[in-house]
Amino acid sequence: MQQNAFFAESHLRTCVIFQLRLLSTWGDEFYIGLNGIELFNRQDKLIRLHPQNLAAFPESVNCLTSVKDDPRTSDKLIDGCNDTNKPYHMWLTPILPNSCARIFVIFDAPTYVTRIRIYNYRKTSARGVRHIAISADDLLLCSGAEVPASSAEATGILDIPLRDFEGE
């Protein structure tokens, strides 16, 4: 983990809305993207997500008038093909003025999230996320965490354990 990143001593029990704010890229001024995200429960099992559990703003590059039918849509964040260089398994969105891209995971019921794994954008490493903030039900869990840059040979992966104080 980065020394300058802020990680809260979370007393979080469960959450309904999990939010990722993409704060910066590895150099691109116009686009930002990820290959995937994974959230894990108290048994360290992957939480199965469906497209209706996900909202991204902006949704994808398809929101641009000059782009049509680009496959790099937000549903690719949870398609399970995360360690890849194939663009049809990635998500890409424009960087809009005076805002940061956001990804929301909305659970159907309060859910324990004890770990998150973030797979950085691999097609063009400069478009990958550099700094990220994570919150759960508006409680800031971390801010400024640095997601490793991807290369042509490897996907940059950030694994963040989230504290769980409930006895197990």
The model's confidence at residue 4, banded by pLDDT at 50, 70 and 90, is low
Residue type present at position 97: P
Buried b (16+ CB within 10 A) or exposed e, 39-59: bbeeeeeebebeeebbebebe
Q: How far apart are CA 165 and CA 121, in angstroms?
A: 32
Whole-structure pTM value: 0.90
Nearest to 32 by CA among 157, 158, 130, 105: 130
CA 55 to chain centre: 11
Structural contact between residues 143 and 45, judged by C-beta atoms closer than 8 angstroms: no
Which position has the higher pLDDT, 35 or 167? 35
- At residue 167, the pLDDT reads 43
**DSSP letter, residue 46:** B
Q: Please report the pLDDT score of residue 6 as a whole number.
A: 56
d(C-alpha 119, C-alpha 159), whole Å: 9
Angstrom CA distances, 125 to 39, 82, 108, 153, stand at 23, 15, 34, 11
| Structure token pair of residue 82 | 């995360």
Q: What is the pLDDT of residues 108-162, one digit of tens each?
A: 999 999 999 999 999 999 999 999 999 999 999 999 999 999 999 999 999 999 8
Average pLDDT over residues 46-75: 95
Q: What is the C-alpha separation between 6 and 112, in angstroms, rounded?
A: 21
Among candidates 52, 69, 53, which has minimal Cα distance to 61? 69
**pLDDT at residue 93 is higher than 80:** yes
